[in-house]
Structure 1
């Protein structure tokens, strides 16, 4: 009887890349058959079973088979709704929404607003992450404040922003309700923990001896950060910024409470226009136009977000893997 090692050797000779491609092709074919026959449930069972068989063929150990089978259930729960969402879209309706000027404004705001929130999260979050990585008295209180937005309901976050920065709040001269400023504040509130925590983990992973060597050679703390700590932690900063941006893109509750509709400068129009944050617009489209129209807008938002995410990852891949001193 072949052991797990024997199986690994056998597939190693064939090359695993072609087998992975073949496995993916089989999954696509099975999904197409299940979708056209109206039996997506059978495809879910097929994924779990095929993953178990593949795990046995590649490894052979009971632990790997069990782990892969259980993991495939979560993959199905995450991936199958997305696959069905994409498959059920109507190309003509997507094209119609893609040509709609109102949708253009929504998509622009859906990228531009979260970008401002991500920049703000990094600008103020990276210094805080550095201090948290070093440690100080009362750190637990600050950590709790940083992580609080992760557990606060979204609508409650919007109410907190209005109490804190609205009329009678910390900055009475700053208009928050129904403004771009309020939208960015709401997005920053919910997305800042991702920027802070990812940057902090990057700082904590750096060997303290590198900073110590920099300091004993006469470098100041700022020079050490600029030439040693910063370059080594840049991957975590980029990851935190991308996560903060993605979190802000998906925010609905806080934005709906603080800035349901906002005015902003829209370059194609050459002036200020009024629009809604993309999740709010999708929700309104669902209420007024039904599932098909809202699905088309959601598809466009998903496509734009995915493209931007991949571009950022690609552009920062080389620069964030050096890990050297500049």
Structure 2
């Protein structure tokens, strides 16, 4: 099993890191894909952190009607095929979609734009962060927060100085997972944002497009993604070692 899993990866690394393939890193198409992926994944991660953290805290600390339903709905993008996710986004935010048509009247066009790349990445990657963050908020005894409030700390102080520091390893792990998932997003991005060079063509889309003409950029970008994935795994292992004991 180890040989089966490692051999294709090693083969791709050997070819992708060869001098011939490595020169493709300077091609405009490759540079554009790197730039689009970097900018969109950073924007996606910022949105995921801003919107996902309160939701994760709510799910971890509150019980309300529809709690289980909301929890299941937030996990749904994790099990949806990416093509289905892209079609759902297109039917919702496309020019003729439920929200796309009113947005068009307001002068906002989302489909086949960098914003569409960000929305596709957030849709598919946010559940990974929310799940990890929720685990972080339930990994320690809430009495710790209660003790801080008894000592005179306000709600914001408790959140900033007690809750978030204790949950930080989980939050970082979720952020790394979400960023990696956003970086590798393909199907939803292709359907909802298209593959416009320098605008919406991310690294996975550039790899797919290069297979039809020049293999060198595909090999180079694939090797970069493998190295990034390995770095993500090492980071996750390090963060898991810092988790507080339950």
Distance change (3 Å), C-alpha of 1:129 and 1:274 = closer
Secondary structure (helix, strand or coil) at the match of 1:129 reads helix
**Range with greater deviation from structure 2 (236-245 or 105-114):** 105-114
TM-score, length of structure 1 as denominator length: 0.65
The unaligned stretches of length 5 or more in structure 1 are 1-72, 264-272
Q: Distance in 2 between matches of 1:308 and 1:170?
A: 38
Q: Distance in 1 between matches of 2:190 and 2:68?
A: 31
1:186 matched residue in structure 2: 120
Q: For the Cα contact (< 8 Å) 1:121–1:188, is it kept in 2?
A: yes
Paired residue for 1:151, among 79, 82, 87? 79
The unaligned stretches of length 5 or more in structure 2 are none
* Higher RCO (Cα < 8 Å, 6 or more apart): 2
After superposition, where does 1:29-178 map in structure 2 within 5 Å?
73=1, 75-89=2-16, 91-137=18-64, 138-167=66-95, 168-170=97-99, 172-173=102-103, 174-178=108-112
Secondary structure (helix, strand or coil) at the match of 2:212 reads helix
Does residue 281 of the first structure (1) align with residue 206 of the second (2)? yes
Q: For the Cα contact (< 8 Å) 2:137–2:167, is it kept in 1?
A: yes
Paired residue for 1:222, among 149, 156, 159? 156
Does residue 302 of the first structure (1) align with residue 226 of the second (2)? yes
Q: For the Cα contact (< 8 Å) 1:119–1:241, is it kept in 2?
A: no
Does residue 247 of the first structure (1) align with residue 181 of the second (2)? yes
Alpha-carbon deviations, 1:287-323, whole Å to 9, x = none? 2235x552233223434x3587489x49x97xx9597
RMSD: 2.6
Q: For the Cα contact (< 8 Å) 1:282–1:298, is it kept in 2?
A: yes
Alpha-carbon deviations, 1:77-113, whole Å to 9, x = none? 3322211222344623223211212211111212221
Distance change (3 Å), C-alpha of 1:95 and 1:295 = closer
Q: Distance in 2 between matches of 1:164 and 1:89?
A: 38
Q: For the Cα contact (< 8 Å) 1:105–1:275, is it kept in 2?
A: no
Q: Note the C-alpha offset of 1:203.
A: 0.7
Q: Distance in 2 between matches of 1:210 and 1:157?
A: 40
Q: Distance in 2 between matches of 1:156 and 1:297?
A: 26
Q: For the Cα contact (< 8 Å) 1:188–1:248, is it kept in 2?
A: yes
Alpha-carbon deviations, 1:248-292, whole Å to 9, x = none? 1111000000111358xxxxxxxxx545111111001112235x5
Larger radius of gyration: 1
Secondary structure (helix, strand or coil) at the match of 1:288 reads coil
Q: For the Cα contact (< 8 Å) 2:113–2:200, is it kept in 1?
A: no
1:5 matched residue in structure 2: none
